[in-house]
Amino acid sequence: MAKIIAGIGTSHVPSIGLVHDQGRQNEPDWKPLFDGYKPVKTWLNEKKPDIAIVVYNDHGCDFFFDKYPTFAVGAAENYAVGDEGWGRRPLPDFEGNPDFSWHLCNSLVYNEFDITVCQEMSVEHGFLVPMHLCWDYDEVWPVQVVPVAVNVIQHPLPTALRCWKLGQAIREAVEAYPENKSVVILGTGGMSHQLNGARFGHLNTEFDNNFLDKIETNPNVLTEMTHQQIMEQAGAEAVELIMWLTMRGAMSENVKRIHRNYYAPMTTGMGLIALEDSASSEHP
C-alpha cells in the first residue's frame, strides 16, 4: 500500500518566487530564508518520495470570487505553471498521477467530502513557491504532484477542524491505494500577516512560534481556533494556516521533527517545519 512518510508546513509568500527567479537567494535579506530550506531539500532527496500532495490556496489564477470551490483536487496528467498577471514563471510544468488522484477523489467523496475534481488545472505561487523551496529541479521535477486547493479567500471558509478532518481522510485514502508509493504532504500558507486595512503589515512572531510548537506536539488545540481568533491575533491573511492542519491531520499522532525554521524580516512571518511520520518511517 501507499504510505505518507512525511509532512511539511511552509509559507508560500509570492515575493520568494521573484527572488528565486532572479537568482537573489544569497542577498543578506533573503539568505536566512533560503538557507533554512536546505536541510529539507537534502532530506527529501534522501527519502525520494514518489508523490507530493500540496495543500494550498489559489489567489485568483485558476479560481476567482465568482466560482471558488471549498476543496478542489487535481486529477490531471500534468499541471501547467499559471500566469498570475506578469507572465509565466521560468519553471517546468508538473507531472501528475491520474490513477492515484482519481483514487484519492473517489475516497474523499465516499468519506463525505464534496470536492471539485479538476481534470485541467494550472498552479500559481501558493503551490509553486513551496515546490521550488523544497525540491531542486532541472527540466522536470523529481516528484509527481496532486494539488489540493482550499478556499481561504472567500467566506464562508472551511473550519480548522474541517481541514484537519480532510487530512485524516487523505491519509485513509493513501493507505488504501494498492501500489507501493511513498507520499509527502505539504500544508502551505501564512504565517502571521495582514495585507489590507489599518493593520497592514501586522506581525505576531509569538503567535507564529507557538503555532509551530503546537502543530508538532499538540495539533488538536489548533483545530479549536476560529477564523476570528486567528485573524485577530495574527492578521487577516493568517487564516491560511488552517491548511497546515490538513497536513498534520494526514499524519500519525507521533511525529519526528526533522527541521524547523522561522524568519520574519518584512511584513510576513515565514515559517517552515518538516515532520517525519513515525508510523511510516520506511518505504516498503
Residues belonging to the active site: 125, 193
H-state helical runs in the chain: 14-21, 31-47, 98-110, 125-134, 160-176, 205-217, 219-222, 227-234, 242-249
190, 249 contact by CB (below 8 A): no
Please report, as a single letter, which amino acid is at residue 260. R
Query: What is the helix, strand, coil percentage profile of the chain, to 5?
Result: 40, 20, 40
Q: Report the Cα 65 to chain-centroid distance in Å.
A: 21
Q: Rounded to the nearest 10 degrees, what angle do helices 227-234 and 205-217 cross at?
A: 140
186, 52 contact by CB (below 8 A): yes
Rounded Cα gap, residues 14 and 119, in angstroms: 25
76, 147 contact by CB (below 8 A): no
Task: Dig out the grid coordinates for 226 from the structure.
Answer: 476560529
Rounded Cα gap, residues 114 and 108, in angstroms: 8
